[in-house]
Structure 1
Amino acid sequence: MTDLIDDFGAYREKMNEKILGSNNKVLKRIYSIDTLAYQEGALPVATKEMLGLVSSMVLRCDDCIKYHLEKCYEQGISNEEIFEVFSIANLVGGTIVIPHTRRAVEYWEALNEKTATNIHP
């Protein structure tokens, strides 16, 4: 399952380099605003990442879901917290979010598995 994480990360990095390498001012500014929005502020980073995850699930963007799951994982969000996030996303987004929740659970498990594998080789 770690291939799921590694493949996503490699693809994202490769494509972001191409996009930012285009030197398009608008795209660079959008990327910059996105980075700035998720920095520590009145809301902690963890809260912002959970909000990003709910929004991504409701908008049904699997790439965004994976990104925010990784960030939530880095912020130490627990399994219980992540499933509450999933529940809010499904409440707001409706049953059409269920397939995205399935993939989100798969990715969350992969993140946990990768860490467990790295700790206990």
Structure 2
Amino acid sequence: MMDWNAYRDQINAAVRGMSAANPDLVRAYAGLSHANAKSSHLDFKTRELIALAVAVSLRCDGCINAHTEAAIKAGASKEEIVDALGVAIMVNAGAAMVYSARTIDAYDAKSAGQ
């Protein structure tokens, strides 16, 4: 498996390099993160559990790394994280089902035209 701390350090170094090249880009991203952190409707732990499910759906190791650490700091248990990941698995399976139906629709439309 991955050395998640070393990976975090690599990502942080790359982001610092991007920031040196285009500080406005990284500042804008940080602004999104800070705006989300000010939510008064969802607590920090819930937001981090959602972020983990989204990170899995997007297949973003950097996001998984950051949001796993944040979820732990927010008090999320392993069981809560597994439940959030279960939602990601369910939604991704549903998305695969929907896109499979679209594929059959494309097949039917294309094969009818031949």
User: Under a length normalisation based on structure 1, what TM-score does the superposition of the two structures give?
Assistant: 0.67
Residue number in structure 1 paired with 2:45: 46
**Contact conserved, 2:48 with 2:67, CA < 8 A, in 1?**
yes
Task: Measure, in 1, the Cα distance between the counterparts of 2:3 and 2:37.
Answer: 24
Residue number in structure 2 paired with 1:22: 21
Deviation beyond 3 Å, 4+ runs, structure 1:
none
Structure with greater Cα Rg: 2
Q: Structure 2: 5+ residue runs without aligned partners? A: 95-114
1:85 maps to 2:81:
no
**Identity rate, percent:** 22
Task: Measure, in 1, the Cα distance between the counterparts of 2:36 and 2:20.
Answer: 22
Q: How many residues are matched?
A: 95
Cα RMSD (Å) of the superposition? 2.3
Cα gap change, 1:60 to 1:29, in 2 (>3 Å): same
Task: Measure, in 2, the Cα distance between the counterparts of 1:5 and 1:57.
Answer: 15
Q: Structure 1: 5+ residue runs without aligned partners? A: 96-121
Residue number in structure 2 paired with 1:99: none
Give, as a single letter, the amino acid of the residue that structure 2 aligns with 1:11. Q
Whose relative contact order is higher, 1 or 2, with alpha carbons under 8 Å and at least 6 apart? 1
